[in-house]
Structure 1
Amino acid sequence: MGDAKNLDVDKPLWDMNTFLGRFKYYFWMTDPRTVFTSEKDLLKAKQLVLGVRANTITGPVSQQELLHARKLYESAFHPDSGELQNVFGRMSFQVPGGMIITGAMLQFYRTIPAVVFWQWVNQSFNALVNYTNRNANSPTSVKQMGIAYVSATSSALITAIGCKNFWQKRASQIMQRYVPFAAVAAANCVNIPLMRQNEIINGIEVQDENGRVVGRSRLAAIKGISQVITSRIAMCAPGMLTMPIIMEKLEKIPAFKRATATHAPFQTVMVGGFLFFMVPVACALFPQNCSMDTSTIKAWEPELYEEMLRKTEGKVPEKVYFNKGL
């Protein structure tokens, strides 16, 4: 046990400037078991973390107790707004939620109705995740969310049905199994930018190394969203690209082919195994607190650079920092 005043709740647990450090952090933070924590316990964890940060807790607090509270707080509350996130939109829900939906998409790809239904379910889930993990300093209206949802779902369905119809006539059986991945990749390229379009239109807050806001940058929003798109596709790629090959091989075994009832559960569990490691890997590909050279801003957003000159009295920092979202 130690005095709460002597504990640093904001000290990074790992080196977030390295991929390995970020991987360790996200592996810890996206622990699927945290989704079963009650709201009461989550709020209690938040109270402890914020109390230690503000030095309002004077009693003894153990390092283990504070570490567990940080895990719950950082997995369930938005880093910008501090609001409790919807449980289905949290990154810690990506493994249980993603494995069920992805497993179903990979299994039920043979008919148009099945493709349409599971792509709709997947895009509904993605829209919730994208909204939950947005940059909360750039609010999105209900109308914008609706347009993003309809556009992303439509793009996924068009891609899936188009690939299905095209590959059904011209491609091998194994290539037809890649219809879900093609649709998911295409939809991510539409869903995320549209769901976070307000960030692109109005820019997101950029800060100096001391955390002082020096302006709002559209270029920073584009960079952050591009990295999120790459991460999301990387998150699902290994499972969705590998499982068709595995299933193609296994279905040549008579005993496995006959046991059709086990195919969907098998794919679901296998996808869960991939996601268990790929969720933290994908989140760790790029730093959460992203940076950008102000020389780039000067070249592409001269009006923002002029604003920064005024706010810093001519002492513009070499880099600015911003939350890219997840």
Structure 2
Amino acid sequence: MEPNVRFWIAERQSFIQRFLQWTELLDPTNLVVSVEKIEKSRQLLLTNEDASIRDLEDPRIKEAWKRSLSTVHPDSSKLIPVPFRPAALLPFTAPMIFFSMLSVKSLKSLILPQISFYTYTTAFNIVNGNASYNRHLYESLLLGTGVIASSSFFGLFPRLLQLRLNNALLKRALPIIFLTHISAVNVVAVRSLEPIRGIEVMDKEGHVMGYSRKAGTKAVRDTASSRVVLYGTSAFIPEVFSHYFVRTQFFRQHPWSLWTFKLACTVLVMGLMVPVSFSIFPQIERIQCSELEKEIQSATEDTELFYHRGV
């Protein structure tokens, strides 16, 4: 069985345990670990099938799990490209969200941040989605291109409305609302083949019982919900804090400090929300067999099966 799948099935973690786990997996050093070290860690886990992340007496095992879980895709057992590993999400998207939420008078200055943000998040969702179903490269490219174009267009839409609105509250709220909804729709759109073709469901031993469209639907829905929490909170809280910051004496004396304050606030809030959003749902989720298709129910006597939700 793929070690990462074995880990997530065996470790029945609570939200707090998953959160603490993700704080380790999101360590920026996981972006620069060499392929050689990853391969050695994987080999160690493959030859020690009973190894657990809680084997604190053996730091090698713990470090091996950290490297494997943070760099290898559970479905394909392939290395995740460095820019799209979970640990890369914060340093890539936090500045993009900051620039996307700035109040500007010209749409031209917003086009690049919007396109950059949705290009990256679309690629991230494709790479870290479920990979257990059959798909062609051209399908991913065509789907991704369409999602990037539509997401960027609708991301600019609230800015067009801002130019015509006089209500200050609406001007601040619209970009946050659109960012939150488009981020969720982005996941649904870019992973739309999973509910159509179905994803692998397996027993606790890792044996594939079939392909389930219902599991694919639930995987996409749960991931989209986690993006709502991540980007909605990461955009909302800095705006609230900035609203009160501009009323302080310090801002009146140093107007330029708003940019620094807002950027720092965005990074801090998102730095907390990334592990929170990843921890809301397990990466390998459980589903009752009675909720799946009849052909899968007839293929096993287990009452509970597992599937890879994705990140």
Taking structure 1 as the reference length, the TM-score comes to 0.82
The match for 1:53 among 26, 49, 55 is 49
Structure 1 residues 227, 51: closer, same or farther in 2, change over 3 A? same
Amino acid paired to 2:14 = T
Residues in 2 aligned to 1:120 and 1:260: alpha-carbon distance in whole angstroms? 29
Q: Would you say 1:76 and 2:61 are equivalent positions?
A: no
Q: Would you say 1:240 and 2:225 are equivalent positions?
A: no
CA contact (8 A) 2:199 2:215 kept: yes
Which residue number in structure 1 is paired with residue 115 of structure 2?
120
The match for 1:296 among 266, 291, 298 is 291
Percentage identity across paired residues of the two chains: 20
The match for 1:306 among 276, 290, 295 is 295
| Cα displacement string for residues 245-297 of structure 1 (whole angstroms, at most 9, x for unaligned residues) | 22222233465367455444432322221122211111111122212223222
CA contact (8 A) 2:129 2:191 kept: yes
Q: Would you say 1:212 and 2:207 are equivalent positions?
A: yes
Residues in 1 aligned to 2:199 and 2:10: alpha-carbon distance in whole angstroms? 27
Amino acid paired to 2:18 = R
The match for 1:131 among 111, 126, 134 is 126
Which residue number in structure 2 is paired with residue 29 of structure 1?
25
Q: Which consecutive unaligned segments of at least 5 residues does structure 2 have?
A: none
Judge which range, 192-201 or 89-98, deviates more.
192-201
Q: Which consecutive unaligned segments of at least 5 residues does structure 1 have?
A: 1-8, 56-60, 298-303
Which residue number in structure 2 is paired with residue 301 of structure 1?
none
CA contact (8 A) 1:205 1:217 kept: yes
Which residue number in structure 2 is paired with residue 16 of structure 1?
12
Which residue number in structure 1 is paired with residue 307 of structure 2?
322
The match for 2:216 among 196, 200, 221 is 221
Structure 1 residues 164, 134: closer, same or farther in 2, change over 3 A? same
Residue correspondences, number: 303
Residues in 2 aligned to 1:153 and 1:254: alpha-carbon distance in whole angstroms? 42
Structure 1 residues 77-156: aligned runs within 5 Å: 77-107=72-102, 109-156=104-151
CA contact (8 A) 1:35 1:93 kept: yes
Deviation at 1:174, TM superposition (A): 4.6
Structure with higher Rg: it is: 1
Deviation at 1:48, TM superposition (A): 2.9
Structure 1 residues 307, 296: closer, same or farther in 2, change over 3 A? closer
Deviation at 1:108, TM superposition (A): 5.5
Residues in 2 aligned to 1:13 and 1:66: alpha-carbon distance in whole angstroms? 17
CA contact (8 A) 1:16 1:287 kept: no
Deviation at 1:148, TM superposition (A): 2.9
Structure 1 residues 221, 307: closer, same or farther in 2, change over 3 A? closer
Which residue number in structure 1 is paired with residue 171 of structure 2?
176
Judge which range, 85-94 or 260-269, deviates more.
260-269
Which residue number in structure 1 is paired with residue 267 of structure 2?
272
SS at match of 1:216: strand
Deviation at 1:11, TM superposition (A): 6.0
Amino acid paired to 2:305 = V
SS at match of 2:281: coil
Deviation at 1:165, TM superposition (A): 2.2
Structure 1 residues 17, 255: closer, same or farther in 2, change over 3 A? closer
Q: Would you say 1:281 and 2:270 are equivalent positions?
A: no
CA contact (8 A) 1:49 1:66 kept: yes
Structure 1 residues 268, 16: closer, same or farther in 2, change over 3 A? farther
RMSD of aligned C-alpha atoms? 2.9
SS at match of 2:163: helix
Structure 1 residues 37, 259: closer, same or farther in 2, change over 3 A? farther
Q: Would you say 1:186 and 2:181 are equivalent positions?
A: yes
Residues in 2 aligned to 1:248 and 1:289: alpha-carbon distance in whole angstroms? 40
Deviation at 1:194, TM superposition (A): 2.8
